[in-house]
Amino acid sequence: MVKKAKRSAENMNTKLALVMKSGKVTLGYKSTLKALRQGKAKLVFLCNNSLPLRKSEIEYYSMLARTEVYHYSGNNTDLGRACGKHYRVSSLAILDVGDSDILGN
């Protein structure tokens, strides 16, 4: 069970890295909300240590925009590292998937 969860997290990290290279992504809370309001977001990532009020607000906007939310198993440092950045990322919205099949889960 643990191996399967770890394998799926690693698989999601590789898909996210491919989206970062070939697709279009917006990082951060404010820009994620903006993309959701405009209806441009295809998928939203939330880290596990984001604030509950922010998490519920993003989930609410995602529900209105009919956008799927992926709850990332790591914290904001891990999500930033998975994106290839050297800073913390609490949320991100995928605008264009590029060559990745991240939406095919």
Q: Is the Cα torsion angle 29, 75, 21, 63 positive or negative in sign?
A: negative
Whole-angstrom Cα distance, residue 91 to residue 102?
16
Q: What is the pTM of this model?
A: 0.87
pLDDT tens per residue, range 65-97: 999 999 999 999 999 999 999 999 999 999 999
Strand partners, 24: 96
At 1, the pLDDT band (50, 70, 90 cuts) reads very low
Distance CA(61)–CA(37), nearest Å, equals 7
